[in-house]
Amino acid sequence: MAQMTMIQAITDALATELRNDENVLVFGEDVGNNGGVFRATENLQKEFGVDRVFDTPLAESAIGGLANGLSYKGFRPVAEIQFFGFVFEVFDQVAGQVARTRYRSGNTRNMPVVFRAPFGGGVHTPEMHADSLEGLMAQTPGLKVVIPSTPYDAKGLLISAIRDNDPVVFLEHMKLYRSFREDVPEGEYTIPLGKANIRREGTDITLIAYGAMVQESLKAADELEKEGISAEVIDLRTVSPIDTDTLVASIEKTNHVVVIQEAQKQAGVAAHVIAEINDRAILSLDAPVGRVTAADSVFPFAQAETAWLPNKTDIYNKAKEILSF
């Protein structure tokens, strides 16, 4: 065991898989000698060489094209998009190409690609760095979308993502990169994709969240506990596909639920989660499903982040509202 930040756990996962499988390649803008703009690939080029860990020209679409073409030659590409706001440049290669290859080829070709990218608000980044665009990816058949919220999950999920023989979009919240440390096992371990995690058990209300909103939900749960309200906090971990079994089991116990996301109301995956709950657990609900999201504006100018981003107070208030329905 070692105490690691999420960024260290990610580096550790990449090193583990570079060591395990010579077909794993790590590439992107500044991921080589520089070790990545967040140091996620620190020292990897030094250890594994420039053939395995390398910089590319500054063009996201061709980074996606490289991942695609390298897969045809039997490699397992782990491509980095420097900030997920830049995904629009490579949308065709991710959603129009890589995600469709197994299907298009009638299951004769596959793309074991991971697209890693940081995202998320709260650190005053410039425009188009922090946007939560996981909803766009979750709407694309052929992709899995993973968003860890802890160092332990980040390592186990990233190893699973790299070993998956189908494409995975792996989104890393910038605010969580170094915000806390926890024990992370040495060596390899995996966490299954598509499985949620109960972060805190409770009996009165279910709080479903992912990314930075998991921490906010845990803080809200602490506040609720002071008033004798027992909140169960579920971290989705994979936002596509959704682990509905874990959600339904919790809701059957608590009969109240709030879905929380950092993305705008019209974006993210909350609406899909709510639809699944309505399909599968409506008779267990004592109140409508609550939802905490950001406002339907463009991601805020840096100085407006605090006012705009959802937080523990929004979650606390929404939980109280649902419980008093």
Residue 39 region, left (φ>0) first, then alpha (ψ -120 to 50), else beta? left
Whether 256 contacts 204, CB under 8 Å: yes
User: Helix 6-20 vs helix 151-163: angle between axes, to the nearest 10 degrees?
Assistant: 30
Q: How many CA atoms lie within 13 A of 307 on its CB side?
A: 6
DSSP assignment of 34-60, as one string? T--TTSTTTTHHHHH-TTTEEE--S-H
CA dihedral angle for residue 9, residue 14, residue 16, residue 17, rounded to 10 degrees: 140
Q: Is 21 an interacting residue with respect to other proteins (CB under 8 A)?
A: no
| Options 38, 48, 75, 210; binder of other proteins; rule CB under 8 A | 75
Q: Is 69 an interacting residue with respect to other proteins (CB under 8 A)?
A: yes
Q: Is 223 an interacting residue with respect to other proteins (CB under 8 A)?
A: no
**165 exposure class (CB count in 10 Å sphere: 0-12, 13-18, 19+):** exposed
CA Rg value for the chain: 19
Which residue's CB is nearer to other proteins, number 165 or number 266?
Answer: 165
Distance CA 92, CA 135 (A): 16
Interstrand relation of 144-146 and 238-240 (parallel, antiparallel or unpaired): antiparallel
Which residue's CB is nearer to other proteins, number 16 or number 246?
Answer: 246
Instruction: Identify the three-state secondary structure at position 176.
Output: helix
Among the candidate windows 80-88, 119-127, 241-249, 303-311, which touches other proteins by CB under 8 A? Answer: 241-249
Q: Is 324 an interacting residue with respect to other proteins (CB under 8 A)?
A: no
Q: Is 236 an interacting residue with respect to other proteins (CB under 8 A)?
A: no
Which residue's CB is nearer to other proteins, number 81 or number 130?
Answer: 81
Among the candidate windows 6-14, 140-148, 177-185, 229-237, which touches other proteins by CB under 8 A? Answer: 140-148
Among the candidate windows 59-67, 117-125, 217-225, 254-262, which touches other proteins by CB under 8 A? Answer: 59-67
Whether 135 contacts 188, CB under 8 Å: no
Which residue's CB is nearer to other proteins, number 56 or number 230?
Answer: 56
Q: Is 96 an interacting residue with respect to other proteins (CB under 8 A)?
A: yes
Q: Is 226 an interacting residue with respect to other proteins (CB under 8 A)?
A: no
Q: Smallest gap, in angstroms, from Cβ of residue 101 to other proteins?
A: 8
Total residues binding other proteins (CB under 8 A) = 45
Q: Smallest gap, in angstroms, from Cβ of residue 60 to other proteins?
A: 9
Over the window 188 to 207, marking each residue x when it contacts other proteins by CB under 8 A and - when it does not, the resulting string is: ------x-------------
Q: Which residues of 286-313 are buried (b: 16+ CB within 10 A; e: fewer)?
A: eeebbbbbbeeeebbeeeebeebbbbbe
**276 exposure class (CB count in 10 Å sphere: 0-12, 13-18, 19+):** middle
Q: Is 300 an interacting residue with respect to other proteins (CB under 8 A)?
A: no
Which residue's CB is nearer to other proteins, number 192 or number 288?
Answer: 192
Distance CA 303, CA 310 (A): 15
For the question of residue 129 being annotated catalytic, the response is yes
Which residue's CB is nearer to other proteins, number 184 or number 281?
Answer: 281
Q: Smallest gap, in angstroms, from Cβ of residue 106 to other proteins?
A: 4
Active site residues: 129
Binding residues for other proteins, per CB under 8 A?
Answer: 25, 51, 56-57, 59, 61-62, 64-75, 92-93, 96-97, 102-110, 141-142, 144, 164-166, 194, 240-245
